[in-house]
Structure 1
Amino acid sequence: MTQPARSHASRSWRSNVDLRAAAWSMAAVVVLLVLVYLGSGGLKWFDAALAGYLVGVVLAVFATVYRYLIWIQRPPTAMLSRRGWQSFRRSGSRGKNVVGLGGLVVTNLLTQGFIRRRSTSRWAAHQLVFWGCILAAMVTFPLTFGWVHFESVGQTGGRYEAFLFGVGSGTFKAESVFGFTIFHLLNISAFLVIAGVVIFLYRRLGDPGALAVERAGDFAALAGLFAVSITGLFLTASSLWLEGQYYSFLNNLHALTVIVGLMYIPFGKLFHIFQRPANLGVKFYQDAGREGGGQTCRSCEQHFATQMQVADLKQILPELGFDYSDGAGNNWQDTCPACRRGQVALAQTARVGGFG
């Protein structure tokens, strides 16, 4: 009696797992481990004390790649991705699009000007968190992978040499401004992130409109960023002012927050870090759509979208279980949003017997 149940459970498990995405995710993990081995000189410069961080990164890479591949296969995302690439490579516009892509990377990803147009405080918070995380990643990952290490020069211990992939890249004095900055980059990144989190919390707790649309995942992301940053600063405080007291406990606590934070990335709000670059194709999609002509509303005869966008909606929505065609050649997508709202209001009014 138990054998059929096991067989059914096995089939159910396999049907819920995208084997192709899992294979690509495993390949990404293997590539990462190979790079760690080669970049650390055959693990010669790999710090065993950071093994926990590496495990967290490996799990996060697998889960992030897997979820991204699942997300990019969804009908709307797949259509947008396909149209974006087609628009980017369209004949006669490739050179202009290459230049435009560089501009979009700067304005949409790095400076995030679209957020500034909505709110200066929100933009400042995004920039502080964004650059704080970028700085922390540029320090943490190379150190964890053994790609970067430092060696003291001479007998006094006042000068260090930095090695990148085992190759010396210059010496510096530990007590110089440059040395102080190098050894405190993670502290600087922590202060940037904490400042951004404080602005986010101040804005969201003080703005009734922002609080009304708040979701639990938003606070979870802020709490995680704050926890990673503050526990990292605790380590510095223990070293500088407490003579190393509680360092072991704080080190384990910080490692736990970092690993949990890494695991949260593919499952929470921070996954948009990887979704955002894919949205750059929207601009090329819109440009190509405008060149193809506008869609006319069948009710008011006004242009309200591009023909390409409406045609794609007619193709995608039935795949998602939303077919708005009546079988006689008419489709609800041919009606502009204003007329849809009006027709819905009239239908509801007729349903309840009039306005009065």
Structure 2
Amino acid sequence: MNRAFASRWARNVFITVCGLIILMYLGSRLFTHIDLALYGYMVGTVVFIGGFFYRFMAWADRPPTRLILTKGLRLLFRRSTPQTAADHLVVYKFIWNRGWYRWAQHILLGWGCILSAFVTFPLVFGWMYFTMENNGYYTVVGFGIDLMKVKADGILAFLFYNALNFTAMMVIAGVCMALYRRLKNMQARAEQSFVYDFLPLYLLLFISVTGLLLTFSNVFLHGWGHPVMSMIHQWSVIVTLIYLPFGKLAHIPFRPMSVLARNYREHYGQQAPKACRVCAANYVSAEQAQDVMNVLKSNGMEFTTPEGYQLAELCLPCRRKYRMSRFSGVPTHEIRVKEANQNAKG
């Protein structure tokens, strides 16, 4: 199989696109419910798949990432995995610890984008569509199966029709909160750049605003300007899909990997501890310390000290003291005095 492709990247993209076509064939009842007006989104998605695999494979081939992914997958079925997945992927508990404002901002942005994708892509690829056989009632069809009937002027139909409008308002609110913080917070202002930090927010804002303008055109202007606005909106989505794997927004599809990293830290953190070679304090598990040394060795960076042990075998305070000793010539790392702020929080 590998000999048929120029690289693993080409193989993975080909298999994924073929699988997508098969799902389109089955979900749209033999391509009979494909909306060609959404053809541009299909092309943008295929380009996104190619970019995503390129970025993911470049990231996953790094020795530290490969190690965490390998061991994290082995621990995927831990009892705590559902709770970890909920904290990292649903409620963003790790952001709540940084403050309610940033948590609300990420909830609005994250779930606004995710729910928009859950609505948009099934419609684009024909996995979900609506038919009307009985006057006044729509049939919701998913992967060729009639799921439910809804009244055309009922509350469920209203929610279906306006789902993307609701998610667009969520994204707009989240983007405005993020922009306000980036303009007012001094630390954010010092660290940010236009291309990496502001451009993704402007792209999301532009997509959301043009999407709402489509509804505004239909409801209040009786369709005036709809074709032009539809093309503008479609091109904005395509450009964002192409950009997504290579910018800051890439952390959205990469986010599930955090569950594997958390499983790794929690599982091996409960194993036999590793004692610091200088102060004898337990600072990490023996497995994690050995993994760090193996990764450094694979990159040709062992950091062996004159005493014969590796820098990774020192706790953080002793490691800082050792670095000081290399500059000052005084063996500060051998002075067994606890730092005043060693266990400081905040």
Determine helix, strand or coil for the equivalent of 2:47.
helix
Q: Does 1:108 align with 2:88?
A: yes
RMSD: 2.2
Tell me the equivalent position of 1:39.
27
Counterpart in 1 of 2:168?
190
CA contact under 8 A between 1:294 and 1:305: conserved in structure 2? Answer: yes
Offset of 1:311 from its aligned partner? 0.9
| Residue 275 (1) aligns with residue 263 (2) | no
Query: Which is further off, 268-277 or 287-296?
Result: 287-296
* 4+ residue segments displaced more than 4 Å: none
Partner in structure 2 of residue 4 of structure 1: none
- Post-superposition CA distance 1:213-262 (Å, at most 9, x none): 22431222211211111110111111111222221111111001111111
> How big is each residue's C-alpha offset from its partner over 1:61-113, in whole Å with a ceiling of 9 and x where there is no partner?
22213322332221110111122234x27xxxx6xx1x311111111110111
User: Equivalences for 1:69-88 in 2 at 5 Å?
Assistant: 69-86=57-74, 88=75
What is the rounded CA distance, in whole Å, between the counterparts of 1:135 and 1:83 in structure 2? 31
Bigger drift between 279-288 and 53-62 goes to 279-288
What CA deviation, in whole Å up to 9, does each residue of 1:145-199 have, x standing for no partner?
11222223456xx432222233333332332222211111010010011111111
TM-score, with length taken from structure 1: 0.85
Q: Distance in 2 between matches of 1:175 and 1:278?
A: 42
Question: What is residue 344 of structure 2 aligned with on the other side?
Answer: none
Return the match for 2:144 from 151, 160, 166: 166
Mapping for residues 74-223 of structure 1, pairs under 5 Å: 74-86=62-74, 88=75, 97=78, 99-154=79-134, 158-215=136-193, 216-223=195-202
Give the conservation status (yes or no) of the 8 Å contact 1:29–1:62: no
Q: CA deviation at 1:273?
A: 2.2
Task: State which of 228, 232, 235 in structure 1 corresponds to 2:214.
Answer: 235
- Hey, what's the Cα distance between the residues in 2 that align with 1:349 and 1:77? 35
Letter matched to residue 333 of structure 1: A
Change (3 A) 1:237 1:178: same
User: Once the 2 structures are TM-superposed, how far is the Cα of residue 317 of structure 1 from its aligned partner?
Assistant: 1.4
2:320 is the alignment partner of 1:341: yes
* Residues 163, 169 of structure 1: 8 Å contact kept: yes
Cα 1:73–1:144, aligned 2, differ >3 Å: closer, same or farther? Answer: same
Q: Deviations over 1:111-153 (max 9, x none)?
A: 1111001111111111111221122112111110112222234
Take 2:60 and 2:110, find their aligned partners in 1: how far apart are those partners? 24
Question: Which range moves more in the overlay, 255-264 or 328-337?
Answer: 328-337
**What residue in structure 2 maps to residue 224 of structure 1?**
203
Structure 1 residues 249 and 343: alpha-carbon distance in aligned structure 2, compared to 1, 3 A threshold: same
Counterpart pick for 1:63 among 51, 61, 74: 51
> In the aligned structure 2, how far is the partner of 1:177 from the partner of 1:144?
24
Paired residue type of 1:132: G
Distance 2:191 2:174 in 1: 20
Number of corresponding residues:
325
Query: Cα–Cα, structure 1 residues 286 and 165, in superposed 2: closer, same or farther, change >3 Å?
Result: closer
Tell me the distance in 2 between the aligned counterparts of 1:119 and 1:213: 19
Percent identity, please. 34
Distance 1:180 1:287, change over 3 A: closer
Structure 2: gaps spanning 5 or more residues = 331-346
Maintained 8 Å contact 2:110/2:252: no
SS in 2 for 1:325: coil
* Counterpart-to-counterpart distance in 1, 2:323 and 2:270: 32
- Going from structure 1 to structure 2, the CA distance change for 1:38 and 1:85 (only over 3 Å counts) comes to closer
Q: Partner of 2:279: helix, strand, or coil?
A: coil
Aligned 8 A contact 1:228 1:254 in 2: yes
Q: 1:326, CA displacement in angstroms?
A: 4.7
What does the per-residue CA deviation read over 1:314-351, in whole Å, with 9 as the maximum and x for residues that have no partner?
11113334331258732121222222222333443459
Structure with greater helix share of residues: 1
Matched, 1:330 2:318: no
Residue 150 of structure 2 aligns to a residue whose secondary structure is strand
